[in-house]
Structure 1
């Protein structure tokens, strides 16, 4: 009989289905005679007036959805039949908790939880069933979320289930639909917005976090261990979604190219005091923080990622550049106060082709004290945008002023044709780091690129105590590796040999000038290792003689007569060059010194 009453009440509640989009209660609660029931109802706080209006509990009358008699309310009223047996608490944060104790069979029936008054009210209808059975069927836990909001399914089971698979599935008309499990399987409709976290202290317990809620997410869920709907154990949840939200949202998918950048905006309620904001990369079982507002930056993302917070407008800007293929995937933007948090998702997609936006170098290595100019090239479409340079750090990217007259740190910005040039005068070691060039339009940050500047000491600088060569205490001579004896001989002989060769070359040149001058001729002369046509007249002019060349004079071979036997000239240029080669060959063989 009691079981029949239970099913009747459940069916009656489903038929009634009179509930508001802004206040929800469980459809059915069951209690035992002399026991108690707790009814938790949830309401939207988007209209702020909802926090302060009267809340009440009443028995439904003869008209559906209308009160017959009030049981209790936040104004302090309690019906005589419920004195000392009923309570109603409103935390003004969206939760109403009602408790009826010392239950009687006559307490069973249809109740209404509402706000304001019966004539002008937001209401939810539910059934209270009273049974004398020793066991009561598990009731579905009520979860209430807003569109774009989040909910947590807390699932706790006995230790015997620690090693079994954990899951969350949804009950649909055609059976069970698996949403996520601990093996990593995820329904495609929930990619990027759900994770399953196992409690490390107690492996039989876990939490499923679902974010970016949609209206179609509402329904009955089973959180369990083993296999959904067959073996193991489970807990039932009734998820309701309210369409009203105070969280404005934008596009969730951002596309960029290899080596490109993204700019994401995460909106939040500026009235809420979030103590920590961070950006993390989503995985099936966790979301790995990459950067936090407290200054933490994951090593691989130093110089690549920054958070720019605008608490007045409730906007967190996430700028990331130097993107590679491994950065593709889902990211979460999280705001939390330690108890409550707000999460939104962003998907980064890598598209094909080359980046056609901002361009510039990736790394610059410069000497201390130099004046450095770092160019940033931009396409014509950015001409009307605001361009800027900033210096990156763990907490922000501090903009560098474009006002040259107010230049206290030696930095200035000038703009040429399609380029923005950052000039750093007399660069110092403190200027080491990442510099970002970016564009901004209507207050929104857009594309960025990063250049790493590495400042080094000049090569001729005086050594510091750390790199100074050790000195022998007995002398002022630095301990260095002395050259070998052969190197000493070679180094001392080389200047002498070069001097001898130079003297021979000069004497040879004078000899040829005097000899050729007598013949009043023009010849092909070797000077060093280069051969060229040099006029004897030019050579005469060099020594101050006036002896113009005769145009019809026959050219004579200085190596001998045409008909006679060719004799090698003792003072020929070839002999001189060959002698110099032999000298060098004995001293220091070097291909550059051979002829």
Structure 2
């Protein structure tokens, strides 16, 4: 109440024309509940006018009263590692106050804070004290768990196999009771979607949480729909180790339909990870799509690759020919004997209809013929670095037999293409090829084309066909075009075949004619070993004539 009166009085002073202040009106003391959110406002004078546009900040007070030890948030978007993801500062310039909001309060957040305006401690400022109180029953004998910031942690809940049919769950303790994070049916709380998995096996309900945040530091309990069983289940006290705060790449990727994506997974190169892979989270399970050892799901063959630079600590995953079914949550997973890091990425198809790379997704040619695969690109990629490469599991080898048909005289880029040419294709050239554009070492966009080279005897037809590459929504017209020399050969062969067929038809006609005569004039007779076409009627007629003579 006293704080409210103080603020009201101070605001009235601020509203007096011509008045200015060298202080900020902040509440002297604020109290929040552990694990909950708290907000407080600090008012400042609109005079001088510079107050509106100067830097606003909040910091922890150091050993010297009124001086900052560490800035925790500012209106530039900065937040310190201890508060990253759970603190904001919003400046309402038109009303001359700013608001600081802290989420997931912890006991460690208690202390003296300074809120001010300016680039350093010499600006105007106000001091407040923050207290954090417990408003819930803390589980007894909780087992301590430690997790690295942005790392992963595993909770194990052992159950009596005789009641295996009962629903099992892991919940987070808060003032309102316990929030079910995930259960054995796969139901996940929306605030943890994409970050937790669960597995029920051999009487153990195992929950894995990844991309651990500061606000995840809390008490957790294992539970069951059987009240008696829940009494003996373990409790956990999760603590966060903030020493390995490694910034990650974008957590939301919005590729265009038919385009590509590049996921960046950043890790500490000094740590020894024994396995690294990229997986898609489905039904509470994350099955690896591709690993750094080159193994991968067959359904993604030709359109995904992984590039791991253990020196810089950057693992990149590239995926082409994006379709609607590629939307969802993905994990970058790095595991070792002592370390385990997992970062999350969500993929959503962009609603913007931006032009991108396009070309043949499937080309088939006879062996010995030239193969040309085209890749068209829009104006926005005119100055970008372009390439063709051959896909081989976990790498894409650059190719040099590439022609860029762009014409600097053209007013538009609609006809510009990047053409890959193989003069005399053989079966060893069959495989997947990537066309793409790069910005330095960063892959901007790529598409996949598949080349099939077949022997001429396998019956390749000179007709149009349609092929839909796995996972691709585009259907590209594919024309198989033999060379002119082969066309002449085909004409010669066709004429010869027609001549042979005509001769066979004549022989068949004669044979058919004789068969018809046989049926008309009765049976044939044999004279010795000589077979003749004289009929029995003719023979009787000649015998009668000799008798009359």
CA contact (8 A) 1:141 1:236 kept: yes
Distance 1:431 1:160 in 2: 59
The 1:451–1:238 alpha-carbon spacing in structure 2 relative to 1, beyond 3 Å, is same
C-alpha distance in 2, partners of 1:460/1:289? 37
Query: Within 5 Å, which residues of 2 pair with 1:5-44?
Result: none
What's 1:512 paired with? none
Match of 1:337 in 2: 336
Cα distance in 2 between the residues matched to 1:146 and 1:207: 19
Distance 2:511 2:438 in 1: 63
Secondary structure of 1:271's partner? coil
Residues 272, 485 of structure 1: alpha-carbon distance in 2 compared, 3 angstrom cutoff = same
State the partner residue of 1:185: 187
1:222 and 1:228 in contact (8 A); partners too = no
Inter-CA distance 234–270: structure 2 relative to 1 (3 Å threshold):
same
Q: Could you tell me whether the CA contact under 8 Å between 1:414 and 1:422 is conserved in 2?
A: no
TM-score when normalising by structure 2: 0.55
How do 1:519-530 and structure 2 match up within 5 A? none
| Equivalent position of 2:303 in the other structure | 304
User: How far is 1:351 from its partner?
Assistant: 2.9
C-alpha deviation, 1:186, in angstroms: 0.5
Match of 1:554 in 2: none
Structure-2 separation of matches of 1:229 and 1:171: 19
Residue of 451, 454, 458 corresponding to 1:453: 451
Which residue of structure 2 lines up, in the alignment, with residue 174 of structure 1? 176
Aligned residues: 331
Query: How far off is 1:265 after superposition?
Result: 0.7
Partner of 2:287: 288
- Find the partner of 1:198 among 197, 200, 205: 200
Give 1:21-420 correspondences, 5 Å limit: 139-199=141-201, 202=202, 204-226=203-225, 231=230, 233-337=232-336, 340-352=339-351, 354=353, 356-400=355-399, 402=400, 411-417=401-407, 418-420=416-418
Secondary structure of 2:347's counterpart equals strand
Cα gap change, 1:228/1:303 in structure 2, threshold over 3 Å: closer, same or farther? farther
Note closer, same or farther for the CA distance 1:148–1:482 as it changes in structure 2 (3 Å cut). farther
Which one of the candidate residues 414, 421, 424 is aligned to 2:422? 424
Q: Structure 1-normalised TM-score?
A: 0.51
Measured against aligned partners, the alpha-carbon deviations of 1:22-66 in whole angstroms (never above 9, x if no partner) come to: xxxxxxxxxxxxxxxxxxxxxx9xxxxxxxxxxxxxxxxxxxx9x
Alpha-carbon distance, 1:348 to partner: 0.7
Instruction: Specify every segment of 5 or more residues in structure 1 that has no aligned partner in the other structure, as ranges.
Output: 1-13, 15-43, 45-64, 66-136, 403-410, 462-479, 494-595
Higher relative contact order (CA 8 A, sep 6+): 2
Residue deviations 1:65-108, cap 9 Å, x none?
A: 9xxxxxxxxxxxxxxxxxxxxxxxxxxxxxxxxxxxxxxxxxxx
CA contact (8 A) 1:368 1:455 kept: yes
Query: Cα 1:334–1:229, aligned 2, differ >3 Å: closer, same or farther?
Result: farther
The change in CA–CA distance for 1:161 and 1:359 in structure 2 (over 3 A counts) is: same
Instruction: Please identify the structure whose Cα radius of gyration is greater.
Output: 1
The reply on whether 1:489 has 2:487 as its aligned counterpart is no
> How many Å apart are 1:150 and its aligned residue?
1.3
Partner of 1:107: none
- Residue 412 of structure 1 deviates from its aligned partner by 4.2
Partner residue in 2 for 1:439? 437
| Residues 149 and 245, structure 2, Cα contact 8 Å, conserved in 1 | no
CA contact (8 A) 1:372 1:423 kept: yes
Using the alignment, how far apart are the partners of 2:238 and 2:434 within structure 1? Answer: 45
1-structure distance, mates of 2:385, 2:205: 48
Cα deviations across residues 232-270 of structure 1 (Å, max 9, x unaligned)? 642111112244424221220101232221111111111
- Preserved CA contact (<8 Å) 1:196 1:284: no
Distance 1:344 1:369 in 2: 48
Gap change, CA 1:353 and 1:412, over 3 Å in 2:
closer
Q: CA RMSD in A?
A: 3.3
Change (3 A) 1:488 1:234: same
